[in-house]
Amino acid sequence: MLHDLMKTDRQKGYAAAVFFSVLVGFSFLGIKVCQNYTDSLSVLCYRYDFAFAALMILMALRVVKVEIREKPKTKLMLTAGFYVGFMALQVVGLAYSTSVEGSIMFALVPIIVKIIASFFLGEKSTWKENCFVGFTVAALVLMIAMGATDISIDPLGTVLLLLSSVSMALSNIFMRYTKDDYKPIEKTFAIVIMGFIAFNIAAVVKGFICDYTIVDYFQPLTIPHVFIAGGYLGIGCILLSAQLMSYMMTKMEAVKATIFGNVSTAISIVAGVVILGEPLRWYHLLCTVVIIAGVVGLSLSGGGEDANEGENG
């Protein structure tokens, strides 16, 4: 009976992981749409605005319930802070670097998680699991690098993007570390609230510095494409994806959950070929197969004895 429950929990975790990968994988379409009409900071604000509005509606309708008053706040704030920090550092880092370099740095997150988790969470891995992680990361980096026409390296941008990846890794680690302290929705709540406040404060500061008015802030949202894309990025790729990642962290080891972020990046590249008509190269197919094989191999390897701990949230 216990074995069956553990198996069911892992299956739920992997189902959430597949949904997460597809959801985030198509986020680049929404970002591209929004960036045609406004800047990166506004896109971040819109994402968290939609996520905040959707969360408030769900709480008002009592669809979700958040109870954190009697719980310690430090670990919750760290979890949310690292998540929001990842997005902020990524945006600033990309101002000094290319999206290619940003994608390569993001591909390294599973390795960073694996290193931190081995010390912080005591999650050890076998040589087979290490190989599968290595294959997946290497295949994604190769796919990105071979598709780039130019890779320029700026020291400041590289440092910021590396810090962004470390921040993302730490957020995932804390999601796993706090699995017995908070429900997934409570961590999602903290992420949405903190991001909403932080990025809108940044927009206000920008307004004072650059003569950026409230009309300028909302004007892009009057464009249907931006409104729909912003809603998808906020509700789908902030609210739901944060919830899914937090849930995944209660069902599987940190590195096994994090590796699905690389699947999302691979889906983004392949979707660009299918939806935007970008060129299909042989390495797209080969690297995608290797990435999927690596994720499947990692998922099937190891016992995952404690992966089922935590609440169903």
Higher pLDDT, 282 or 223: 223
Cβ-based neighbour number of residue 15 at 10 Å: 13
pLDDT digits (tens, 9 = 90+) for 166-199: 999 999 999 999 999 999 999 999 999 999 999 9
| Percent residues over pLDDT 90 in the chain | 49
Indicate if the pLDDT at residue 84 is higher than 50.
yes
Would you state the structure tokens that stand for residue 139, as one six-digit string?
């295949």
Closest CA to 260 of 172, 128, 170: 172
Q: How confident is the model at residue 3 (pLDDT cuts 50, 70, 90)?
A: low
Q: What is the H or E stretch that residue 167 is in? A: helix 155-177
Interval 33-42: pLDDT, tens: 888 899 889 9
Query: Residue 66 corresponds to which amino acid?
Result: V
Per-residue confidence at 4, pLDDT binned at 50, 70, 90?
A: low
Q: Where are the beta strands (DSSP E) in 205-291?
A: none
At 243 the three-state DSSP class reads: helix
The string over 45-63, giving b where at least 16 C-beta atoms fall within 10 Å of a residue's C-beta and e elsewhere, is bbbbbbbbbbbeeeeeeee
Burial class of residue 150 (count of CB atoms within 10 Å of its CB; 0-12, 13-18, 19+): exposed
How confident is the model at residue 149, as a pLDDT?
62
Write out the two tokens for 307.
């992966």
d(CA 239, CA 147): 31
What pLDDT shows up at residue 274?
76
pTM above 0.75, yes or no: yes
pLDDT of residue 236: 93
Q: Whole-number mean pLDDT of the chain? A: 86
**Distance between CA atoms of residues 187 and 286, nearest Å:** 37
pLDDT at 310: 39
Q: Which residue has the higher pLDDT, 307 or 74?
A: 74
- For the chain, give the number of residues: 313
Contact 112, 169 (CB under 8 A): yes
What is the SS3 assignment for 213?
coil
Vertex 112: Cα angle to 71 and 148 (nearest 5): 125
Among 6, 9, 5, which Cα is nearest to 17's? 9
Residue 260 vs residues 10, 149, 243, 270: alpha-carbon distances, Å? 14, 26, 14, 15
The b-or-e profile of 194-222 (16+ CB within 10 A means b, else e) is bbbebbbeebeebeeeeebeeeebeebbe
Instruction: Check the CA dihedral 164-51-258-246 and report its sign.
Output: positive
The pLDDT of residue 313: 42
- The amino acid present at 149, given as its one-letter code, is T
Query: What pLDDT is stored for residue 165 in this prediction?
Result: 93
pLDDT band for 126, please (50, 70, 90 cuts): confident
CA distance 34 to 30: 6
The pLDDT score that the predictor gives to residue 312 is 40
Interatomic CA distance for residues 97 and 6, integer angstroms = 44
Residue 186's pLDDT is 95
Residue 147 has pLDDT above 80, yes or no: no
Domain boundary assignment for the chain? 17-300
Residue partners of 290: CB distance under 8 A and separation at least 6: 135, 136, 138, 139
Among residues 93, 64, 51, the alpha carbon closest in space to that of 235 is found at 51
